[in-house]
């Protein structure tokens, strides 16, 4: 059972603040005008390793005992969590073994290896990669660092909201990419502790919608998965994260693949940022009218990562020009 509090998030902030970037919080005049709201972007695409995932990984590895660190760590990830674990492990000389599915983008694989971790490619999706990583953890004695169902991971991700709300405390809503659930649960823990009235909204794609249906049904729902530009959000969720989210998250919304592509193009055109599909889903929801109730409100949108293959982004941009 997960147990994450505002105290957990504050402790995480103290552990990791000297190793992470305090990422910019920027008002998007262009998006605000389009939506009819005051929209701010929390730019975790500018975080070290190109993603918010470093926060949780640093907090988790910092919490391990010397004995656990000595045995090394292992994880499964679509890419960004893996890079975070690899980087965090490299800071303390800890051995890291990373299992990624075949769908993991080349830019993320390269990042994992750049930080000195051992890379294993296994499975057609995250769930298969995770199952294999658990098997290797048993065989090798390494500590498994879960991408989202972990108290320290969630608390670390919650520092994204803590940073933003310390700078601008009066947001009415936060729009968050939702994959496994570490980010949205961490953000909701911190945000609701500071302002119980704030609305926390998760965004997924129709290609990977487990949060949307599970939240509605209040149980883990069976869904169909297909390929998505938002590869970092692709995969199943856990009962632990669902139980937590049901108490602190307000709703989930789905966007189309074409809308994700358009948001990636829009962020490059309007703000000159490379943003991966997973990081652009909130902008997609706002640009394409999925959140009409936020008109006239002050909205925080989390831009969660930048790890997209340049050729893929170039192709998307070219399709709109």
Q: How far is residue 104's CA from residue 107's CA, in Å, rounded to a whole number?
A: 8
Nearest Cα to 261, choosing from 246, 231, 243, 281? 281
**CA dist., res. 271 & res. 176, Å (int):** 19
Residues assigned a catalytic role: 53, 304
What span, in angstroms and rounded, lies between the C-alpha atoms of 183 and 128?
Answer: 22
Closest CA to 75 of 67, 90, 66, 85: 85
DSSP state of 255: E
Which backbone phi and psi does 34 adopt, to 5 degrees?
A: -65, -40
Q: Could you tell me which of 255, 229, 204 has the C-alpha nearest to residue 317?
A: 229
Kindly report the number of other CB atoms within 10 A of residue 168's CB atom: 14
Please state, as a whole number, how many other Cβ atoms lie within 10 Å of the Cβ of residue 188. Answer: 28
Angle of helix 53-63 relative to helix 6-16, nearest 10 degrees?
A: 90
Please, are residues 175 and 302 in contact by the beta-carbon 8 Å criterion? Answer: yes
Q: What is the DSSP code string of 99-114? A: EE-TTS-HHHHHHHHH
Helix axes 6-16, 182-194, angle to 10 degrees: 110
Beta bridge pairs of residue 144: 74
Q: How far apart are CA 225 and CA 62, in angstroms?
A: 34
CB atoms within 10 A of CB 292: 8
């Amino acid at each position: 059972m997960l147990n994450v509090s505002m105290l957990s998030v504050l402790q995480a902030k103290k552990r990791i603040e000297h190793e992470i970037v305090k990422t910019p919080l920027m008002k998007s005049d262009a998006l605000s005008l389009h939506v009819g709201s005051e929209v701010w972007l929390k730019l975790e695409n500018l975080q070290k390793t190109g993603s918010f995932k470093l926060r949780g990984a640093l907090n988790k590895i910092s919490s391990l005992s010397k004995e656990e660190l000595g045995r090394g760590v292992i994880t499964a990830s679509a890419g960004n969590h893996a890079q975070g674990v690899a980087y965090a492990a490299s800071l303390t000389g800890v051995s890291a073994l990373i299992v990624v599915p075949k769908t993991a983008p080349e830019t993320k694989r390269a990042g994992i290896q750049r930080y000195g971790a051992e890379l294993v490619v296994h499975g057609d999706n995250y769930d298969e990669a995770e199952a294999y990583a658990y098997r290797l953890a048993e065989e090798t004695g390494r500590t498994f660092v879960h991408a989202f169902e972990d108290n320290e991971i969630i608390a670390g991700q919650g520092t994204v909201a803590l940073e933003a709300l310390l700078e601008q405390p009066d947001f009415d809503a936060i729009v968050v990419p939702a994959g496994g659930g570490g980010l949205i649960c961490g953000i909701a823990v911190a945000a609701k502790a500071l302002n119980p009235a704030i609305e926390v909204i998760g965004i997924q794609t129709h290609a990977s919608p487990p949060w949307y249906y599970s939240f509605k049904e209040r149980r883990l729902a069976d869904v169909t998965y297909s390929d998505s530009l938002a590869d970092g959000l692709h995969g199943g969720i856990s009962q632990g994260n669902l139980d937590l989210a049901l108490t602190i998250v307000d709703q989930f919304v789905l966007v189309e693949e074409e809308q994700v592509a358009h948001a990636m193009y829009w962020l490059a055109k309007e703000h000159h940022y490379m943003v991966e599909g997973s990081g652009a889903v909130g902008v997609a929801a706002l640009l394409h009218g999925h959140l009409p109730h936020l008109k006239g409100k002050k909205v925080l949108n989390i831009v969660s990562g930048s790890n997209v293959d340049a050729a893929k982004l170039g192709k998307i941009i070219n399709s709109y020009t």
